[in-house]
Amino acid sequence: AHDYNEHDKMFFCEEDQSLLKNVPWLIMRTNNFFAPSLFLIPSFQEELGSMFPDKGTVFHHLGRYLFHPSNHVWGLIT
Three-state secondary-structure class, residue 70: coil
Longest dimension (CA), the chain: 40
* Number of Cβ within a 10 Å radius of residue 33: 12
Q: Indicate whether 21 belongs to any domain.
A: yes
pLDDT digits (tens, 9 = 90+) for 23-57: 888 777 776 667 778 888 888 888 888 887 887 77
* Domain region containing 19: 6-77
> Tell me, what's the pLDDT at 74?
67
- The answer to whether residue 71 scores a pLDDT higher than 80 is no
Q: Indicate whether 1 belongs to any domain.
A: no
Q: What total number of domains does the chain contain?
A: 1
Q: Indicate whether 29 belongs to any domain.
A: yes
Contact residues for 26 (Cβ-Cβ < 8 A; gap 6+): 20
Which whole number is the average pLDDT over 63-73? 67
Q: Indicate whether 24 belongs to any domain.
A: yes
Q: Indicate whether 66 belongs to any domain.
A: yes
